[in-house]
Structure 1
Amino acid sequence: MSVIILLLIASLSVALLFLGAFIWGVRTKQFDDGYAPPLRMLFDDELPDPHEKETKPSNT
């Protein structure tokens, strides 16, 4: 029974450590990307597939 309590305390400690690291990263703006937004508009368009041909109805 004491092993379960020990593992519970250890897992909660690790979870709180990761939560603290995440909050620290958000507050210090580690996840802000100042480089990609100006370039994002250049890559939004999907390229047409050259192997896929559109069939046009014929007038015969």
Structure 2
Amino acid sequence: MDVLVFMIPIATGLGLVGLCAFLWALRSGQYDDIEGAEYRVLQDD
């Protein structure tokens, strides 16, 4: 039961880090061109 004292804050912290990374990706435009990625895979440069 003592392990929950450590695991709950660690899990909450990792969740917040993931949420911050996702919000950063949204704001920096990582998801703007979803359809273009499928065509770039097929291009042979």
TM over 0.5: yes
**Count of matched residue positions in the alignment of Structure 1 and Structure 2:** 37
Which protein, 1 or 2, shows the higher relative CO under an 8 Å CA cutoff with sep ≥ 6? Answer: 2
Q: Provide the aligned C-alpha RMSD in A.
A: 2.0
Moved over 2 A (4+): none
Which of the two has greater helix per residue?
2
1:11-54 Cα offsets, whole Å, 9 max, x none, are: 00000000000000000111111762xx7xxxxxxxxxxxxxxx
Query: Where does the alignment leave 5 or more consecutive residues of structure 2 unmatched?
Result: 40-45
Answer with 1 or 2: which has the greater Rg. 1
Q: State the identity as a percent.
A: 30
Runs of 5+ consecutive residues of structure 1 not aligned to the other structure: 40-60
TM-score computed with the length of structure 1 as normaliser: 0.53
How far did residue 2 of structure 1 move?
2.8
